[in-house]
Amino acid sequence: MDWNERRTRFRKHMEGNTCLRPGSVFDPISARIAEDLGFEMGMFAGSVASLTVLGAPDLIVLTLKEFAEQAYRICRAGNLPLMVDADHGYGNALNVRRTVEELETAGVSGISLEDTDLPQPYGVEGEAQLITIEEGIAKLKAALDARQDPKLFIAGRTSAATITSLEDAVTRAKAYEAVGVDAMFFTGLKTPGEIDVVSDALSIPIILGSTPPALSDFDYLAAKGVRIALQGHTPFLAAVKTVYDTLKDIRDGAHPEDLEHRLAPEVLNQVTRNEAYQQWIKTYL
């Protein structure tokens, strides 16, 4: 498939002057829903991938192959530009190269790679740790070198603001900017003052992890260079709750007919592209 047009749209937005909230997606159906509702881009997080593919918490037990395969399924389902959270690149700098190769082939438009020490090392009692800045630089160099399509967007990511300090987050971000990443992804920023600090320090676009109410002014964020502000992954969590409640009701004796108010056949027909399939049946069969 040709991924060029969606990557062009993604990069055009990142080079623009607005801040978008991407739709959190996790499979082909959710991606089509987001696209049909007018979302300009989708976000596929490593945490949601682990939940969707393995039914496991976000502990980096998912493999690159599993993540890339699900990203491909999402990308081929429509034309939604997809940003993905590739965690730590599934290993060292050589693994990062492989990660970029696989995800570029899968059709994603943007990739973020973080400097958290993952998976959790032995003996740290659950406290998140960071790799050194030098290793973070090496990983991002490897990612940029592995990129074959210049339109593929590669962002550095750091959680230093919550693990070490805002000062360390800025130091790391400036080092990664110097390597040549297209954007910096920050998690843990909570106040306009912190946004001001990172914005003043960088000349590349900014991506924010889930934003608190204090950072809900998207015009302000846009003026500070923020181009993407994530809003959490409520769609997947809501889907889990709906499936649980429906199965529980059936287990407790409800008849499927009693639950029809929860169904939307017209939406299902739309997101499965049923009309197109019916036309193909007439044309080819």
pLDDT given at position 149: 98
- What pTM value is reported for the model? 0.96
| pLDDT tens per residue, range 267-285 | 999 999 999 999 999 999 9
pLDDT for 125 equals 79
CATH of domain 4-233: 3.20.20.60
Domain boundaries, the chain: 4-233, 239-284
- SS3 of the chain: CCCHHHHHHHHHHHCCCCCECCEECCCHHHHHHHHHCCCCCEEECHHHHHHHHHCCCCCCCCCHHHHHHHHHHHHHCCCCCEEEECCCCCCCHHHHHHHHHHHHHHCCCEEEEECECCCCCCCCCCCCCECCHHHHHHHHHHHHHHCCCCCCEEEEEECHHHHCCHHHHHHHHHHHHHHCCCEEEECCCCCHHHHHHHHHHCCCCEEECCCCHHHCCHHHHHHCCEEEECCCCHHHHHHHHHHHHHHHHHHCCCCHHHHHHHCCHHHHHHHCCHHHHHHHHHHHC
Condensed to tens digits (0 to 9), the pLDDT of residues 175-222 reads 999 999 999 999 999 999 999 999 999 999 999 998 999 999 999 999
